[in-house]
Structure 1
Amino acid sequence: MSINRYRLKHLNSEGNKGAKRVERLLETPDRLIGLILIGNNLVNIGASTVAAILCLRWFGDYGIAVASTINTIGLTIVLLIFAEVTPKTLAALYPERIAFPSSVILTPLLKLFYPLVIALNTITNGILRLFRVNPDEVGNHSLSKEELRTVVHESSVMIPKQHQDMLMGILDLEKVTAEDIMIPRNDIFGIDINNDWKIIQKQLTHAQHTRVLLYRDNVDDAVGFIHVRDALRLLSKDEFSKASLLRAVREIHFTPEKTPLHTLLYNFQTAKERIGLVVDEYGDIQGLVTLEDILEEIVGDFTTSIIEEKTDKARLQQDGSYLVDASSNIRDVNREMDWNLPIDGPKTLNGLIIEYLEDIPQTHLSFRLAGYPVEIVDIEDNKIKTIRVMPEFYIPPSQQDDA
């Protein structure tokens, strides 16, 4: 009964005959328990009877008193040690070594005692139903998502830390939405097709992305995505013009901002897309999401450090504090800096601070945010531009009340 059901299924799939017998027995655990207990009680009663007969032969008239004492004390100790605790402890420690050979004996015994087992189970199951317990509902041994997370955490010896993080990333995909990982619309690199043609050519030449958004006047009037490879192909054929560029654009894949990442990944796979625009409930464009963003949620950042090398959003100071760009995505900052800022509300540090203070703060204002001492360093255009964070003074939420 203590055998690992998942290892049992694995061994059964590999053709292990012992695993197949054990799995067949465990399909009806009430019958298996009934059979084991029938045998157990037969042995106990038989041992008590044999002890009584021997005492009568050896001690005559005093045999009954001696047999009663032996059965009560001596036989109980012997049975507990040699028939109960020792073998069951051994079986719990090495369930496969005990279960597989035992199944060779239990399988024919179940057929032999089948009428008695069925009769016993009928009575016991009827009693259980009086207490509103349905014995026909075999225990569900499938793992929930939270239990699977625990299994991944506890398997640190067998699974490398990097692989654990990947597995946890896959399990957490449904908790993360497109809104959580999208590039905000203010940071979207795009080309206004109404600009002068020379400006457009220059922007395409210096584009750092393989796919560039084309729009008219503003991002809300998006035309489509142009692959830089297609633009170079047009350039090589001397067909480079606004008209040819517009003909080469690819249709935009739109996705709601609350779409879970596992659904978004499936949609990308179905539509053969790698990039899309995120819209809110009113259809307004809120940001841009790519397949790379989703994969980074699983495998981690592809670069060595996005914050230090790519965006330089957190800069370590001599006093141990960090100057952080307040427009940074909270999830990115948490992942890169190993912090625990809340992610269930606003997506940027600026939004998180404004929601917490319920006002646009002044510079040099200091406060504690989720246990981290924070100072407002710079504000520009009614937005927090830079903050100072002292992570070494972080106090876990469970201790904040005491602090």
Structure 2
Amino acid sequence: MIPATLPAPLAPYDLAFWLIGAVILLLLALSAFFSGSDTALTAASRSKLRARTDKGDRRAEAALEALDDSERLNGAILVGDNFVKILAASLATALGMRVLGWGGVALAVLVMALLVLVLAEVLPRTWARLAPEDVAGRIARPLGAFARFLAPVVWAVRLIVRGLLVPFGIRANHSGPVFSVQDEIADALAVAQSSGTVQKEDRDLLMGALDLGERSVEEVMLHRSGIEMIDADLGAAEVLDLVLKSPHTRLPVFRGERENVIGVIHAKDLLRGVRRALQERGPEALQNFDVLSTAMPPYFVPETTPLDEQMREFLNRRTHFALVVDEYGSLRGLITLEDILEEIVGEITDEHDTEATQSLVPGPQGDYLVDGAMTIRDLNRALDWTLPDEEANTVAGLVIHMAQSIPAAGQVFSFQGYRFEIVARRENRITRLRIRPLEQPLPDDEAQAH
């Protein structure tokens, strides 16, 4: 119920009026601190901070430590900023009511909205964007102290959030982050692209880098059916011929069956070995040349390895090539450093790439002729489509999953708002499809085959 009488009004010359006003300004300053800290920690360059640290800058060193502990600091920023904003708005509403009565409530809301927007959001974030490394260095230590003070509150908020998600069947990883900024960055990039501030190519590049930790080796590897391999029982002349004809510099060597990979031949190592043998023993050296003497030991990786971890492992091992195996040790495919980089920058081709046909060919009616082995993610990124990739990695795999069979050439399917026509099939593989968006997407339960 609304009280019949209001508390005695405050006059502008009352001490309580000025005390409450000072507290509101202090809270706005704290909110500006949190907003600027959030922007500075997001925009600060690690390389610039590291360069400053090497020159003895203690603030830059503190900022680097803060970036390494960004999850805890993000939680403190989120909790602290919301608390001070709500408290400032509540005090301003109470002050407006005491000074002007019920009419002061609306005035307090308007004034606080303007002050929060200008002083606590736009101004500190603009300053932080103009000099992110300087701001990060200044706020790192006080923000760290505040995060330690708020640690129990942040922990309690995480616990409550996870508890609220349980009834919906969502179980958050207790060791994983709750206050992640990746989704916010993705949303910001989408808005920036729609407004024309960021080009699609730049957005794809940034999102590709952000998604590396969320994707596994299995999703980008070359399937074993497409791997060029060398039989260890072949003669040296035949191996040389295969290596020279191949567009690849590294080729796995198997003995008996393709699953039994015993080494990896690098074209340069093989040519060096052959040249050395010819110099020592003459032309007849090729007859007894041991190809495996130039092979490197195979490097195997699990198919579930995240791409960012695999890229770091490639850099640490100073190698670019790995064979992918499943949990039973069976060969699944191969992955290279170039495959991972292509997830960020797009397709990389050179003068030795022999693929003459495009994997994505536009048609006259708004449709596209697509290679069945093309990944769903590459197709979505190229055309800004939204095909699901939870159940399959390739376009052909998605059609087989939705159809629950291996369709024949000429069959047409409509699901997920797109029309799929099977153009070509080789044995049990769909090799070419024609795809176009439907004008009115069909719901999942109405997906049908013709």
The residue identity in structure 2 corresponding to 1:93 is V
Change (3 A) 1:402 1:86: farther
Separation (CA, whole Å) in 2 of partners of 1:402 and 1:360: 16
- Out of 93, 97, 101, the position equivalent to 2:118 is 93
Change (3 A) 1:329 1:218: farther
Partner SS state of residue 335, structure 2: strand
State whether structure 2 residue 190 is matched by structure 1 residue 153.
yes
Contact 1:339 1:391 in 2 (8 A): no
Counterpart in 2 of 1:353? 399
Separation (CA, whole Å) in 1 of partners of 2:306 and 2:430: 29
Partner SS state of residue 341, structure 1: coil
State whether structure 2 residue 43 is matched by structure 1 residue 6.
no
Contact 1:373 1:394 in 2 (8 A): no
Separation (CA, whole Å) in 2 of partners of 1:272 and 1:40: 61
Query: 5 Å matches for 1:137-148?
Result: 143-148=180-185
Separation (CA, whole Å) in 1 of partners of 2:420 and 2:90: 69
Separation (CA, whole Å) in 1 of partners of 2:447 and 2:101: 56
Change (3 A) 1:238 1:369: farther
Partner SS state of residue 225, structure 1: strand
Deviation at 1:227, TM superposition (A): 1.6
Query: 5 Å matches for 1:360-379?
Result: 360-379=406-425
Separation (CA, whole Å) in 2 of partners of 1:98 and 1:334: 37
Deviation at 1:367, TM superposition (A): 2.0
Deviation at 1:396, TM superposition (A): 4.5
Unpaired segments ≥5 residues, structure 2 = 1-27, 45-57, 62-72, 125-151, 159-177, 279-284
Contact 2:89 2:109 in 1 (8 A): no
Deviation at 1:270, TM superposition (A): 2.6
Of 186-195 and 151-160, deviating more is 151-160
Counterpart in 1 of 2:67? none
Query: 5 Å matches for 1:236-275?
Result: 236-239=275-278, 241=286, 243-275=289-321
Separation (CA, whole Å) in 1 of partners of 2:302 and 2:379: 24
Unpaired segments ≥5 residues, structure 1 = 16-22, 49-70, 100-133
Counterpart in 2 of 1:178? 217
Deviation at 1:401, TM superposition (A): 5.9
The residue identity in structure 1 corresponding to 2:436 is P
Change (3 A) 1:87 1:342: closer
Deviations 1:186-230 (A, max 9, x none): 110122121233321211111211212222243212122222122
Separation (CA, whole Å) in 1 of partners of 2:426 and 2:85: 73
The residue identity in structure 1 corresponding to 2:120 is P
Instruction: Calculate the TM-score normalised by the size of structure 2.
Output: 0.59
Q: CA RMSD in A?
A: 4.6
Of 278-287 and 366-375, deviating more is 366-375
Return the index of the structure with the highest Cα Rg: 1
- Out of 234, 238, 242, the position equivalent to 1:199 is 238
Partner SS state of residue 386, structure 2: coil
Query: 5 Å matches for 1:211-230?
Result: 211-230=250-269
Deviation at 1:318, TM superposition (A): 4.8
Deviation at 1:142, TM superposition (A): 5.3
Counterpart in 1 of 2:436? 391
The residue identity in structure 2 corresponding to 1:153 is A
The residue identity in structure 2 corresponding to 1:380 is R
State whether structure 2 residue 386 is matched by structure 1 residue 344.
no
Counterpart in 1 of 2:11? none
The residue identity in structure 2 corresponding to 1:353 is V
- Out of 166, 174, 190, the position equivalent to 2:229 is 190
Of 282-291 and 238-247, deviating more is 238-247
State whether structure 2 residue 308 is matched by structure 1 residue 279.
no
Deviation at 1:250, TM superposition (A): 1.4
- Out of 182, 190, 206, the position equivalent to 1:167 is 206
Deviation at 1:89, TM superposition (A): 1.5
Contact 1:308 1:314 in 2 (8 A): no
Q: What is the aligned residue count?
A: 331
The residue identity in structure 1 corresponding to 2:333 is G
Deviation at 1:298, TM superposition (A): 1.4
Of 260-269 and 183-192, deviating more is 260-269
The residue identity in structure 2 corresponding to 1:164 is R
Percent identical among aligned pairs is 27
Deviation at 1:284, TM superposition (A): 0.8
Query: 5 Å matches for 1:51-130?
Result: 85-86=110-111, 89-95=114-120
Deviation at 1:84, TM superposition (A): 7.3
Deviations 1:299-328 (A, max 9, x none): 222249xx9965433444555544434344
